[in-house]
C-alpha cells in the first residue's frame, strides 16, 4: 500500500497474518512481496542481489546494498569481521556468510540505521544495466530543484532557514547521522551517557542501545511527565550526559513532555536536547527554541502518498552545538537519491493542506472513539493527561496530528480481523492506516508473558491499536470503526 512499486506499507489483514509474519511462517512470507523497506527487502534490491550473486558466485553469502563507501564501512565495523565489499555504479554491496552472526548483525545495522539503497536507486541501476523493462509511472518534481525545494519547505515548517536543514535518505539515517555526530563530539569531552525520555520508536531505542557502548551508557526514563526523574538524572550524572532524546509526542502512547521545562533543564546542565516531532508533524508543533536539533521522518506526512523514504535533521541555529551538529550531520548524512527527492518534492506541495485535513478528521474520529463503549482508553494529543503540554507547543488550535492509539475492552483479533480499514506499518499517509503496533515493533515482548508484564508496567498495553487518520470523508472512517466495534 499504496498500489506502487515503491510503496512503504503493505496489507497485513488478520492477526494470524501478523503473527505469521513475525514468526516467519513460510505460508505468510510467500505473500509478503513488499513492506516497510528497512524491515522487508524490496523486490528491486533483491533483483540486484540475485544478479550480483550470480555474477560473483555469492550463493553462500548474504548481500547488503549500501549507498556509499562510508555506509559500507560502518556496516562492516558494526557487523564484525568476514565481510567483503563489491562496488558498482556507486553501490557498495557488503556480503557475509549466510546464517553467520555477522550477517545477523549486518541486517540489524541496516534496519536500525536505514543505510540501504532506496527502491528508486535500485530501479535506476536495473534500468541502466538492461535488467528492467520500464520505470514506474509517477509524477515527480524537477530533479535539479528538488533538494532545495524540500529544504525550503522544511525551513518554513520549522520556522528556520534553509541552511539549518540537512536532508537524508530516511528518518533513521537522519537520526543516526545526528547521533553519531554528537556522540563523537561528546565522547571527546568525557560524556557518554544518553538519556532516553519516554518509550520511543523501536529503532531510535535500538540505536541508543547498540551504538552507545552498552546499557551502561543509556539511561531510560519511561515517564515523559516526570521531570523530577530528569532532574535527578542530570544531578547524578550531569557531567557524563551526552544528550537527551525524546519525541513530541511519543510513539505509540502519544505523550508530550513539558518542552519548556525540559529545555530549561537541558540548557542549565549543558546537555543537548534532541526532539523528534514526526508523530504530530512540524506543521502542528514547534520544537524550537528549546531543542538543539530536531529529527523528522519525511516518510510521514511529507511523503503523504506512502511511497518515499526520507528524513531530515533541522538545527537550532541559536544552540551552542549548532556548528558541531550542522557540520557533522551534513558530512555524515546519506542524501536522498535524486529520484526520491523529486517524488518527495512533488508530494510536499500538498503538505499543509493534507495535514490540516488530517487534523480535522482526527478530531471527529477521536470524539467518536472516546465515547464508544468498546473503548477502554484512547491515547491522542488531547488526552486529559497530555493536553496542557501539547497545547503549549501546538502551532494553532485544533491541530492534533493524525495519530491515536486505541485500547479495547474486547479481544484484539476480533476487532482487527473485522475492521474494513487498511492495516499495515507506517503513518501520515492520505489513506487511514492502522496496525497492532507492539506486535510489529516488539514481538519479542508481546509474545511472552514476562514481556507483556514488562510493557504493562510502563503503561503500554500489548494489544493496543495504533491508528493513522487519513484524508477520506470522516463519516466513512467512523462508519468503518463503528461496524467493527
Query: In the CATH scheme, what architecture does the domain 143-348 have?
Result: 3-Layer(aba) Sandwich (3.40)
User: Residue 91: what pLDDT?
Assistant: 96
32 pLDDT tier (thresholds 50, 70, 90) = confident
Mean pLDDT of 17-30: 93
Mean pLDDT of 128-132: 93
User: Residue 463: what pLDDT?
Assistant: 97
Does the pLDDT at position 215 exceed 90? Answer: no
The domain spans of the chain are: 15-128, 143-348, 351-484
213 pLDDT tier (thresholds 50, 70, 90) = confident
Does the pLDDT at position 214 exceed 90? Answer: no
Mean pLDDT of 429-455: 97
User: Residue 327: what pLDDT?
Assistant: 97
Mean pLDDT of 252-281: 97
Does the pLDDT at position 366 exceed 90? Answer: yes
Of 108, 110, 88, 106, the residue nearest 98 (C-alpha): 106
Distance separating alpha carbons of residues 74 and 84, to the nearest angstrom: 13
Mean pLDDT of 335-350: 98
Please state the separation of Cα 55 from the chain's center in Å.
35
- Fold held by 351-484: 3.90.1150
* Stretch (H or E) spanning 367: helix 351-370
User: Residue 68: what pLDDT?
Assistant: 97
66-123, pLDDT tens digit by residue?
999 999 999 999 999 999 999 999 999 999 999 999 999 999 999 999 999 999 999 9
User: Residue 100: what pLDDT?
Assistant: 96
Mean pLDDT of 254-275: 97
The dihedral through the CA atoms of 388, 394, 396, 399 has a sign that is negative
* Stretch (H or E) spanning 171: helix 171-187
351 pLDDT tier (thresholds 50, 70, 90) = very high
Q: For the chain, what percent of residues have pLDDT higher than 90?
A: 96
Considering the chain, what is the average pLDDT of its residues? 96
238 pLDDT tier (thresholds 50, 70, 90) = confident
Of 19, 18, 5, 3, the residue nearest 425 (C-alpha): 18
Mean pLDDT of 193-203: 97
Does the pLDDT at position 265 exceed 90? Answer: yes
Instruction: Please give the grid coordinates belonging to residue 41.
Output: 527487502
Amino acid at each position: 500500500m499504496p498500489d506502487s512499486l515503491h510503496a512503504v506499507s503493505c496489507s497485513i489483514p488478520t492477526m494470524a497474518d501478523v503473527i505469521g509474519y513475525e514468526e516467519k511462517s513460510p505460508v505468510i512470507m510467500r505473500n509478503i512481496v513488499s513492506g516497510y523497506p528497512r524491515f522487508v527487502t524490496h523486490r528491486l534490491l533483491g533483483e540486484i542481489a540475485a544478479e550480483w550473486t550470480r555474477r560473483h558466485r555469492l550463493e553462500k553469502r548474504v548481500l547488503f546494498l549500501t549507498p556509499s563507501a562510508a555506509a559500507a564501512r560502518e556496516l562492516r565495523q558494526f557487523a564484525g569481521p568476514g565481510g567483503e565489499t563489491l562496488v558498482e555504479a556507486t553501490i557498495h554491496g557488503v556480503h557475509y556468510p549466510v546464517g553467520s552472526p555477522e550477517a545477523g548483525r549486518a541486517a540489524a545495522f541496516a534496519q536500525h540505521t536505514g543505510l540501504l539503497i532506496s527502491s528508486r536507486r535500485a530501479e535506476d541501476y536495473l534500468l541502466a544495466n538492461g535488467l528492467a523493462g520500464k520505470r514506474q509511472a509517477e509524477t515527480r518534481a524537477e530533479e535539479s530543484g528538488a533538494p532545495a525545494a524540500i529544504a525550503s519547505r522544511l525551513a518554513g515548517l520549522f520556522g528556520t532557514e534553509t541552511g539549518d536543514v540537512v536532508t537524508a535518505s530516511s528518518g533513521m539515517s537522519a537520526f543516526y547521522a545526528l547521533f553519531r555526530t554528537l556522540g563523537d563530539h561528546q565522547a571527546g569531552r568525557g560524556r557518554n551517557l544518553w538519556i532516553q525520555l519516554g518509550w520511543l520508536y523501536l529503532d531510535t531505542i535500538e540505536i541508543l542501545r547498540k551504538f552507545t557502548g552498552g546499557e551502561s551508557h543509556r539511561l531510560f526514563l519511561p515517564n515523559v511527565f516526570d521531570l523530577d526523574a530528569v532532574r535527578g538524572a542530570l544531578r547524578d550524572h550531569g557531567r557524563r550526559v551526552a544528550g537527551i532524546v525524546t519525541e513530541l509526542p511519543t510513539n505509540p502512547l502519544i505523550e508530550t513532555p513539558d518542552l519548556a521545562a525540559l529545555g530549561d533543564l537541558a540548557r542549565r546542565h549543558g546537555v543537548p536536547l534532541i526532539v523528534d516531532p514526526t508523530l504530530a508533524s512540524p506543521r502542528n508543533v514547534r520544537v524550537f527554541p528549546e531543542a538543539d536539533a530536531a529529527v523528522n521522518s519525511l516518510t510521514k506526512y511529507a511523503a503523504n502518498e506512502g511511497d518515499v523514504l526520507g528524513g531530515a535533521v533541522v538545527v537550532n541555529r541559536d544552540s551552542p552545538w549548532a556548528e558541531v551538529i550542522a557540520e557533522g550531520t551534513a558530512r555524515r548524512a546519506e542524501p536522498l537519491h535524486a529520484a526520491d527527492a523529486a517524488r518527495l518534492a512533488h508530494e510536499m506541495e500538498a503538505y499543509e493542506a493534507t495535514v490540516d485535513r488530517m487534523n480535522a478528521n482526527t478530531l471527529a474520529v477521536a470524539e467518536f472513539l472516546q465515547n464508544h463503549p468498546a473503548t477502554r482508553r484512547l491515547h491522542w494529543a488531547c488526552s486529559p493527561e497530555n493536553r496542557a503540554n501539547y497545547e503549549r507547543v501546538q502551532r494553532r488550535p485544533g491541530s492534533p496530528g493524525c495519530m491515536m492509539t486505541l485500547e479495547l475492552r474486547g479481544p484484539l483479533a476480533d476487532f482487527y480481523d473485522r475492521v474494513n480499514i487498511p492495516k499495515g506499518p507506517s503513518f501520515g499517509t492520505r489513506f487511514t492506516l492502522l496496525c497492532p503496533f507492539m506486535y510489529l515493533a516488539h514481538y519479542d515482548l508481546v509474545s511472552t508473558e514476562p514481556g507483556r508484564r514488562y510493557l504493562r508496567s510502563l503503561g503500554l498495553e500489548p494489544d493496543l491499536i495504533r491508528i493513522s487518520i487519513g484524508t477520506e470523508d470522516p463519516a466513512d472512517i467512523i462508519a468503518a470503526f463503528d461496524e467493527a466495534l
